[in-house]
Amino acid sequence: MDPKELQRLIERGLPGAIVEVRDTTGGGDHFEALVVSPSFEGKTLIERHQQVYGAVGEAMRAQVHALTLKTLTPAQYQNRR
């Protein structure tokens, strides 16, 4: 899978999110993603990850072997800069 395709899936599932995806091994199946979304406000880390996995959908079972996530609210993203 191309990182841009994975990015589009996440953006479609989480409208308004800032998404950066990187292929960590070059093989098209291990990825790292930074996802910044206002929908993460008040959610636990597990709930945030579930939202992203839901957006990725079937690709998570078929094409993506590993996905490392960094999920932040817009305020958390601004504070880390």
Specify the pairing of strand 30-36 against strand 18-23: antiparallel
Domains contained in the chain, number: 1
**How do residues 59-73 score in pLDDT, each as one tens digit?**
888 888 899 999 999
pLDDT tens, 3-28? 999 999 999 999 999 999 999 999 99
Residue type, 22: R
Taking Cα atoms as reference points, which of 68, 39, 60 lies closest to residue 51?
A: 39
CATH number of residue 63's parent domain? 3.30.300.90
Which domain does 49 fall in, by range?
Answer: 3-79
